[in-house]
Amino acid sequence: MMTPNEKEQAADILMKAEKDCVQAKLLSDTFPHIQIEDSYAISSIVAQRKIKDGAKLIGHKVGLTSKAMQASSKIDEPDYGHLLDTMMIAEGAKVPHSRFCKPRVEVELAFVLGRPLKGPGIGLVDVLRATEYVVPALEIVDARLVDQRKIFDTVADNGAASGLVLGGRPIKPTEVDLRWVSALMYRNSDIEETGVAAGVLGHPALGVAWLANKLGQHGVTLEAGHVILAGSFTRVVFAQKGDTLFGDFGPLGSVCVQFV
């Protein structure tokens, strides 16, 4: 386990990398004794520093929701990160590529809660009842640490969460079978990825349930009005300067972002 001072040092490293848009050395190399609990603590330290500086917590993201991604990270459950209002990007906006270290984009469903959720014991039906609406989303993920990251590095780096774009057509969670919501991910004119939302733990609402139960262990509630990114159902698509990333969710509409 890391000492409190080491966790603060790790938070300094991540915040400097984000500010300078230059990837830093792996925390798992600098602090080889790091544990997953340390990583979540570091992520929380960074989030709390930003909140103290004026940012507002607006929700959470769930990551590593597919069996393949969990196996590659040598874990047996998803991970999570914080979403702040400073990360919100308008649909169709032009975003400076230089704002990120190494941006990538994923298609997801965002659950906007109408009432609070707190574990333990939260299941799929509880999530559907608590959700005001579901809306297509793009998550911009970034890596403030160099490649060959371990799960400790990814979790400490806020699950790589860096930006979110909401768009398309909001729907009530019972309007469609959310398992079969599909998306085509375009980079410019080329389809790079396709997928269906069942790729998220069999049902995207189960990603939200996992989060509520995980955070409930620490006394944290998912609040009404919060946005929960339930997890990607495609692989990431790298974004270069000049690229437009476009998620086509069929009947649910589309959402895009441009990197300039």
For 200-241, the pLDDT digits (tens) are: 899 999 999 999 999 999 899 999 999 999 999 988 999 999
Sorted by where each begins, the domain ranges of the chain are: 57-259
In CATH terms, the fold of domain 57-259 is Fumarylacetoacetate hydrolase; domain 2 (3.90.850)
Query: In the prediction, which pLDDT does 231 show?
Result: 92
What would the pLDDT profile of 46-70 be if each residue is shown by its tens digit? 999 999 999 999 999 998 776 555 5
Query: In the prediction, which pLDDT does 98 show?
Result: 96
> Which residues of the chain fall short of a pLDDT of 70?
66-76
- 13 contacts: CB under 8 Å, gap ≥ 6: 24, 25, 27, 30
- Note the Cα 234 to chain centre separation in Å: 13
Query: In the prediction, which pLDDT does 115 show?
Result: 97
Query: In the prediction, which pLDDT does 116 show?
Result: 97
Query: In the prediction, which pLDDT does 192 show?
Result: 97
Query: In the prediction, which pLDDT does 10 show?
Result: 98
Using CA atoms, how far residue 228 sits from 133, 140, 190, in Å, is: 11, 14, 28
Query: In the prediction, which pLDDT does 216 show?
Result: 94
